[in-house]
């Protein structure tokens, strides 16, 4: 039985008052981000998994500091694993400029040996003056630089959006809550209980005085969040409902692709009912677990007729999808969530979902171009006959991933 289209699900806070612009790579995102921060009047809220100060990443840091120096309230939250410890020079510069800086879940002496430390802040959000939102999969990281692999010959393949409308308020309030809860935890640890109580009250009361409006044609969009409290499975459900309602075409580009059983079955069922399903996935070795644990799930997808393309010119970090771009109910999403257990079960993630023909067509064209000119289509026979050593490594990685999920108490 075909699932109801995602558009009919009112549990997602869709509104028709948005403008959403697609941005590809840091080359398009960072100039727009810096321009918005240079024009900020009251406040900047910023969350990112990685903040790297090499190359163009330093330009973003400079814009944050310029804003703070002219009196804009500037709050920056980075992840304790993705970013790690700041260099003393940058830490001093940010503090001197007045940038308020917090680290989400610092590792401590035992590092990632504690399973509770596997819950990371992976979303990439920036709200400027409560009026403009940037959301996507792009870290503050130069497109041609990788902290582990050095200089890259081609830019990372990734996307973000710049948006206005009511979803900005949702993002801003979400970031406020995290900021003040982190502040409350900090005060409790320092035995400053009155300050901790005040911070918790601020988490529920903090609002911006200025909320933005729109000019020009509006789009239907929503911000879909994933956390470990009320929104444990919203992003995965958004994907499954959209896939279940697909009529003609599904294109997904995802960096770390290891979907759970329900999501895999949704893709297989879509392909079997005649929907063209294309996946653009990581073709370049980056991390052992993510690279090898993904391969065992390809077999059933290929047998069902799903087309898999591997992107190799550079690292693919995109977390996007477009469904029925040329149909009467186009659906697209751009965000931070990979389709793997770390994103869908453990990390804080944020995706923007857009139901707009022009936006979906734009994303569709960019993904098709990448598949045609930079993707290598996987041959089912070649996949089935891959070397024994590779198959063993794939199974080891897959088993380790399942073991890690069992340790956290999750089923996938």
Catalytic residues: 122, 124, 129, 317, 319, 324
297 phi and psi, to 5 degrees? -85, -10
d(CA 153, CA 133): 30
* Residue labelled with tokens 């640890």: 189
d(CA 12, CA 226): 12
Question: Residue 107 contacts by C-beta under 8 Å, 6 or more apart in sequence?
Answer: 80, 81, 117
Q: How far, rounded to the nearest angstrom, does the alpha carbon of residue 80 sit from its chain's CA centroid?
A: 17
* Residue labelled with tokens 């959403």: 20
d(CA 116, CA 304): 37
**H helix or E strand, kind and range, residue 276:** strand 276-282
d(CA 387, CA 60): 44
d(CA 4, CA 1): 9
d(CA 320, CA 253): 5
d(CA 203, CA 300): 46
d(CA 51, CA 70): 22
* Residue labelled with tokens 């470990």: 228
What tokens were used for 386? 């891959």
Other beta carbons within 10 angstroms of residue 242's beta carbon come to 26
Residue closest to 280 by CA, chosen among 358, 201, 377: 377
d(CA 270, CA 2): 9
Residue 123 exposure: Cα atoms within 13 Å on the Cβ side: 29
């Amino acid at each position: 039985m075909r699932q109801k289209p995602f558009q009919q699900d009112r549990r997602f806070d869709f509104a028709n008052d948005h403008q959403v612009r697609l941005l590809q790579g840091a080359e398009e995102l960072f100039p727009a981000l810096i321009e918005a921060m240079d024009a900020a009047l009251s406040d900047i809220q910023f969350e990112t998994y990685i903040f790297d100060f090499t190359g163009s990443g330093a330009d973003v840091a400079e814009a944050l500091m310029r804003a703070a120096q002219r009196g804009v309230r500037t709050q920056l939250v980075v992840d304790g694993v993705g970013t790690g410890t700041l260099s003393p020079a940058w830490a001093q510069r940010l503090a001197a400029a007045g940038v308020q800086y917090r680290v989400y879940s610092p590792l401590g002496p035992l590092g990632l040996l504690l399973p509770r430390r596997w819950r990371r802040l992976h979303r990439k959000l920036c709200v400027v003056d409560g009026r403009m939102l940037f959301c996507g999969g792009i870290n503050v990281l130069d497109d041609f630089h990788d902290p582990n692999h050095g200089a890259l010959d081609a830019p990372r393949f990734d996307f973000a959006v710049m948006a206005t409308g009511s979803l900005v308020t949702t993002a801003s309030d979400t970031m406020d809550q995290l900021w003040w809860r982190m502040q409350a935890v900090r005060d409790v640890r320092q035995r400053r209980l009155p300050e901790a109580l005040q911070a918790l009250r601020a988490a529920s009361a903090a609002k911006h005085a200025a909320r933005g409006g729109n000019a020009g044609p509006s789009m239907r969009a929503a911000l879909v969040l994933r956390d470990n409290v009320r929104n444990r499975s919203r992003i995965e459900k958004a994907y499954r409902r959209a896939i279940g309602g697909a009529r003609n075409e599904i294109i997904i580009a995802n960096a770390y692709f290891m979907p759970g059983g329900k999501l895999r079955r949704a893709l297989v069922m879509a392909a079997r009912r005649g929907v063209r399903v294309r996946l653009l996935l990581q073709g370049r070795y980056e991390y052992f677990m993510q690279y090898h644990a993904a391969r065992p799930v390809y077999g059933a997808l290929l047998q069902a007729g799903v087309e898999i393309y591997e992107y190799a010119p550079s690292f693919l970090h995109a977390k996007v999808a477009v469904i029925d771009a040329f149909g009467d109910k186009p659906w697209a999403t751009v965000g931070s969530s990979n389709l793997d257990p770390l994103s869908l079960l453990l990390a804080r993630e944020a995706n923007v979902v857009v139901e707009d023909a022009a936006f979906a067509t734009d994303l569709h064209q960019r993904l098709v171009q990448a598949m045609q000119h930079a993707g290598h289509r996987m041959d089912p026979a070649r996949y089935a006959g891959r070397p024994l050593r590779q198959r063993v490594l794939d199974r080891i990685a897959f088993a380790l991933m399942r073991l890690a999920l069992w340790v956290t108490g999750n089923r996938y």
